[in-house]
Amino acid sequence: MIRRRNALNRDQEEHERKMSEVNRRIHTLETDLNRLKRQQDQSMDRLMQAKAKQVKATQQVDRLDGEISRKAAEVATAAAQVQDSVDKASSICGRIEDVEHPSYYNAQIHELNHRMTVEKAQFDHMDLCELELDVQEKAGKLNQKAIEFKNLSDNVHHVSAMLVKRKLKWAALRKEIATRTSLGFNKFMMKRDFAGKLKFDHTGQRLDVAVVRNKEGGTKLSVVNDMKQLSGGERSFTQVSLLMALGECIECPFRVMDEFDVFMDSINRTLTLKLLIETAKTEATKQFIFVTPNDLR
């Protein structure tokens, strides 16, 4: 039973260590995940700003192209009107050469072309394709980290469930050992016409010993919870019974008892030695060692 309990304790410690390692890895992944999210957000902001500028420039170019087309149409219309007027005027008289060159429309066209060139030059240093590739790369890393985070989370849940099961088994084993120890203690105490009970408080790490005895040879039972109410020999016998009960639940090949009968009277000592010898005979696979200044015969 002790090996099972030790194995369960080792498994529990191993699972707790794994959980600590998994939690540490989760914390590292969460840090990387947050950093990649911030980088992705920054790249997305840059991309959105660049696209906004691109849209604005495209709109301006379209507007300028429309204005150029409109001006060109106006020029064509004006040219047609001029040509019509020239034809009409020529039918009346010869052409009169104008001393000033009409450059108004040419100047307008030149100005519009210049403005369109300036607007396009503002976005020549921005590589939108490169920004889009960077965003895609960051999104891929973010997705990979999210998958790793989910796998680790699933592993943590699995380990947690296993740990809960191990704790339940360990608690059941501990309860079984406590019950067996209490029954064994009562069995040994009955050799002295006592009834004993052990109450284990695992939470408070406390052990309460209760002893029931006949008072003055009568039938009325009295419960002794304070061992100081017992005589020295009775306390020593109670301690030996407790040790023997614990020994039955502990798979140890050696049992050593040092000066266990120093404070016993002859009656309690005789009963105790008889109890120890009988127990040693029934457990032939274990070695009992008794250290006492008194004679064991």
Domain count, the chain: 2
240 falls within a domain: yes
Question: Of the candidates 151, 167, 183, which is a domain's last residue?
Answer: 167
The pLDDT assigned to 217 comes to 43
pTM: 0.44
Residue 22 and residue 145 in one domain? yes
The pLDDT assigned to 223 comes to 61
The pLDDT assigned to 99 comes to 47
Contacts with 179 (C-beta within 8 Å, 6 or more apart), sequence order: none
The pLDDT assigned to 122 comes to 57
Residue 204 and residue 287 in one domain? yes
Domain that holds residue 244: 193-291
Residue 51 and residue 88 in one domain? yes
Residue 142 and residue 51 in one domain? yes
Report, as ranges of residue numbers, the positions in the chain whose pLDDT lies below 50.
99, 216-220
**pLDDT digit string, tens, across residues 167-210:** 999 888 888 888 888 888 888 888 777 888 888 888 888 888 88
